[in-house]
Amino acid sequence: MTTTTTAYDVIVVGLGGMGSAAAYHVAARGHRVLGLERHQPAHARGSSHGGSRIIRQSYFEDPGYVPLLLRAYELWDKLAVDAQREVYRLTGGLFVGPPDCRTVAGSVLAGRRWGLAHEVLDAAEITARFPHFTPHPGDIALYEAKAGFARPELTVRAHLDLADRAGATLRFDEPVLEWSQTRDGVRVRTPRGSYTAGRLVICPGAWAPQLLAELGVPITVERQVMYWLDPIGGAAAFADHPIFISENYSGAQIYGFPAIDGPRGGVKVAFFRKGLACTPETIDRVVRPREIDEMRARVTELLPALAGGCRHTATCMYSNTPDQHFVIARHPGYANVTVAYGFSGHGFKFVPVVGEILADLCIEGVTAHPISLFDPQRPVTR
């Protein structure tokens, strides 16, 4: 039976990383929030899962992200205290490659422009400090002590719990079929009913092409694979390892983490932006032996100890814009609708501050945070 309620100030569509943070920040400001999610809380069907996501400040993608990162770090601290959970951990981070590659040169540029604490190491210094690494002789690295990782599932659950504590109504296994503007606000339809509110926040993840096609920002959804490899000699030596991003002379990037899941958990590694186009309905969740072999061959060029077996694998999805910058804005056609999507594989570290930005835009109509880079009406060709 279809029901209609008008009891909400704000509806948040999508309760993954960004949506859960938005629901919390809006509810914490005293507004009546309805959150709608097509899957269960902290599910493994989208982009906010896999046990870990890198956080860092020396941002090679664009120095314009750094002010948001500085605020995000403050909010990571607050979330950890408020939720009483280790939602993130600082391990240090090593960004390795030829001096002129994007990973290294971009990190150095951001670090210098914003006065971020960092060190630049040559190949010999990398190996002396971190004996498991075997960089090419011409490689250098930026080392950032404030880099580390966030726990995506814990983060989503923490924001959902805090949103619930602040009075939000959260509904799961309830996909949104469509949304529309009404005379007094917005209407959202799901298989269970029709809901109205004064304002709407849409955080659709990989479902953006279905819910926000009218904005005209082309989104390419890609299948990505995460691998947990056994180190030769055991995982103990990798327990206090830095996170890393490595770029080779062809421009291909890989990344990895410490052994954060105990002696039998393996070391998580992955290619960055090496995926096939898919949709949430067509993604291939099967990881084949040739993919594991390719990952192992690439990562052991830098970390030979990761030549052991593969503990397990998992898939997730990137939702890429053409320029790989986010889309965060009030909807240009509907003043009471705010959107956040296209996080292009590097968004999770921003989750707490994106939640704050979305609350600003939804409630106040503006934000003091610098988000012009994320305007959906920007030129997005690349």
- 263 pLDDT tier (thresholds 50, 70, 90): confident
Tell me the per-residue pLDDT of 58-88, one tens digit each, with 9 for 90 and over: 999 999 999 999 999 999 999 999 999 999 9
Q: Judging by DSSP bridges, how do beta strands 243-247 and 93-97 pair with one another?
A: parallel
Q: Which residues of 269-284 are buried (b: 16+ CB within 10 A; e: fewer)?
A: bbbbebbeebebeebe
Query: What token pair was written down for 371?
Result: 């988000």
Task: Tell me which fold the domain 90-149+219-318 belongs to.
Answer: D-Amino Acid Oxidase; Chain A, domain 2 (3.30.9)
Instruction: With a cut of 90, say whether residue 2 has pLDDT above it.
Output: no
Q: Tell me the C-alpha distance between 115 and 347, whole Å.
A: 22
The Cα-based distances of 380 to 327, 330, 374 in angstroms read 10, 17, 10
Query: What token pair was written down for 116?
Result: 């971020």
Q: Domain 6-46+151-215+321-372: give its CATH code.
A: 3.50.50.60
pTM over 0.75? The answer is yes
pLDDT at residue 3 in the model: 54
Which own/partner contact pairs does 336-339 have at CB distance under 8 Å and 24+ positions apart? 336/181, 336/185, 336/186, 336/198, 336/199, 336/200, 337/179, 337/181, 337/186, 337/199, 337/200, 337/201, 337/202, 338/199, 338/200, 338/201, 338/202, 338/362, 339/201, 339/202, 339/203, 339/212, 339/215, 339/376
pLDDT at residue 1 in the model: 42
Comparing 6-46+151-215+321-372 with 90-149+219-318, is the CATH topology the same?
Answer: no
The full set of domain ranges for the chain reads 6-46+151-215+321-372, 90-149+219-318
Mean pLDDT to the nearest integer, 9-26: 98
Picking from 139, 121, 118, 120, the residue whose alpha carbon sits closest to that of residue 58 is 118
Tell me the per-residue pLDDT of 187-206, one tens digit each, with 9 for 90 and over: 999 999 999 999 999 999 99
Tell me the per-residue pLDDT of 122-175, one tens digit each, with 9 for 90 and over: 999 999 999 999 999 999 999 999 999 999 999 999 999 999 999 999 999 999
Sheet holding 88-90, edge to edge: 53-55, 148-150, 88-90
Instruction: With a cut of 50, say whether residue 382 has pLDDT above it.
Output: no
